[in-house]
Chains A and B, each alone.
Chain A
Amino acid sequence: MKRLLILPLLLLAAAAPAGKEAPAGKPMEKILDFASIPAGEGWTKSEKAEQGDPQLRQEKGLHVITARLAGGPASRYKKPAEFLGGFEARSIGGKPAEKTGTAVVSGARVVLYKRKVPGALPPPDESGPYETILEHFCVVPAGKRFFILSYSYGDTTPDPSFDGERAWRDFLKAFSVKKR
């Protein structure tokens, strides 16, 4: 019952416009000040802001692992529940992400999710079929803030030469929130 009461509030918060450009001013926080983020061999790293949050993106071919620190002053999401109720935690069509299990990440047991996201798309005026790929993600508490960790492989044909999901599990084991 409580969930039913909370849901409309989450929907309202989650439906907030996504298009606003991040306010200029303060320099972006360094995400590595907040967590020890493991780096695998052969992965390239880049840091940038994603919807107001500092994010570290690691890529190996089409395998992508991201660590994003949400809940900060410029974040679209102040609480994990806002993120989990919003578009970024749902499959295309709006179905909430599917729970696939749990894992201990940085000392906390967290729920692992997967959702279907669009892959390659036809031009916006065409209605042809589009590819969907899987995104795996979880939310890890970090004091008053939280990390959104994710893994995806950007193609519908899997990579026969590299086990990305294993790399993801190894990443989760080694990820550690710093005490501040």
Chain B
Amino acid sequence: MKIPRLFSLLFFCLLALPAWQFAPAQTLEEQSAEAGVLFDGEGRYTGTAAEAGSSAEGKAKLLAALKTRVKIKDRGNPAEGERLNAILSRILDAPTGRQLATEFLAEGARAEISFETIPDTKVFELNGKKTFWTSGGHAHTAANPPEVHLNEAYMQARQDEAPITMAHELFGHTLERKRAERYGVQDTYIFHQNEEANAGLVGWTVGAELGQKIDNAWAWIYMANAEDYHRRLKTNMAYYAGTLSSDEMKDPLPAYQARLADTDKTLLRLPLRREKSELWLRIIDHLIKIHQMAEAAFKTLLEETRAVLDSIAGNENRLKDIRGYLTALIEKCGAKDGQSWLASLREKADNEYFRERARVMDERADALGKMMLGRTWEGEQPPARPGQVTWPQLEQIWKTEQASACGWKP
């Protein structure tokens, strides 16, 4: 996930700066020289991912080399340092993890990794397993060195998933920033829609190679229809609403205008969603009070409907954030000081970096698809309350009611 903090920075840069200026990217030679100083006396890692996968010693060497470029920060708690070390080590059990670790070293990338307190995180038990539902982590790729923060809740829950999140942030986002610098597109790649999709593929692939169930709905959407994945992501958070395909980078304004219109359309649906939920509450109330149906049989539907009503304000805020960001981008496209940014997007849209990224992503998706279809699973649902009316049953009851002589209108 590309962080809210980065998003805020991006947002203010867009509004405040006539054009972004970044320090020129270091050459690979310069990076190599700098990297040499950081190595622990053994010199630069010269092994391959295949060698690292062939023996425990090979993997240990790769891990040692990786740790010369990835600083583990334990926040004064050695147990956190040990856990982060174990997470890095576990990533290297996956062939893709080893491959990307060698690419991280070859690219001369660096990072600091640590746990972080993510606001509102609560660890709780679900079906006998500890879990949490807030962000798993994020990467501050523009920091020097880049920082990767994992949710400290991984110390207590979902430990098996921590390597997936770390691979996503460290190799999906942080390594990619370094690559983008090499191609000279560090100021534009964050506007490309594949920035998040690539990190997603990295994490899902490492997870699948480690034998884990791919239960991230985004992964299933991407594999079914990548266009649908991008469409959905653009209405999920403001940062993603500003991302573009290579073609759209050449002329972003129509894309942003179309998305703004879609966002407005979605905003207009929220009052209808509220009205519909309130209508069902009135129907249920009528069935209980007038037709003497057991109130207890509607408990689950009542809870679901009230949860939908409670979620509407949050959805409205999220859509308004998206609307505000798109409006700012549209203004930027028309403003004098936005022209250099538009020119930069246009000029770099055909950069080899984006073509190469798409090629690698296609290969990764191909391999991941075979793993996902070779190991399918059925959704785990919490056990349903006995004796509850379901939505199809309620719809049928409502149809019968409308056809009856009752005559009540909600």
| A residues adjacent to B (C-beta < 8 A) | 11-12, 14-21, 50-51, 61-62, 86-88, 90-95, 116, 118, 121-130, 132, 155-161, 163
Contact = CB atoms under 8 A, between A and B. Distances in A.
Contacts of B197: 19
Q: Give the bracket for the number of chain B residues in contact with chain A.
A: 35 or more
Q: Is the interface of A mostly helix, strand, loop or mixed?
A: loop
B237 interface: yes
Contacts of A94: 220, 372-373, 375-377
B341 interface: no
A119 to B, nearest CB: 9
Contacts, number: 152
Contact of A61 (B1, B200, B220, B272): B272
Given A17-B366, A20-B226, A125-B165, 4 more contacts: A11-B373, A121-B218, A127-B131, A160-B410
15 contacts: A18-B222, A21-B358, A51-B225, A87-B224, A87-B369, A90-B224, A93-B215, A121-B232, A121-B236, A122-B133, A123-B236, A127-B161, A129-B133, A157-B304, A159-B276
A61 B398 contact: no
Interface string B133-153: 111111000000000000000
Contacts of B134: 126, 128
B273 interface: yes
A50 B1 contact: no
Contacts of A14: 369, 373
B294 interface: no
Given A118-B221, A125-B137, A160-B283, A15 B304 contact: no
A155 B225 CA distance: 20
A87 B220 contact: yes
Nearest to B168: A125
Contacts of A123: 1, 135, 236-237
Contact of B308 (A19, A156, A160): A156
Contact of A16 (B272, B283, B369, B410): B369
Interface in B223-257: 223-227, 232-233, 236-237, 245-247
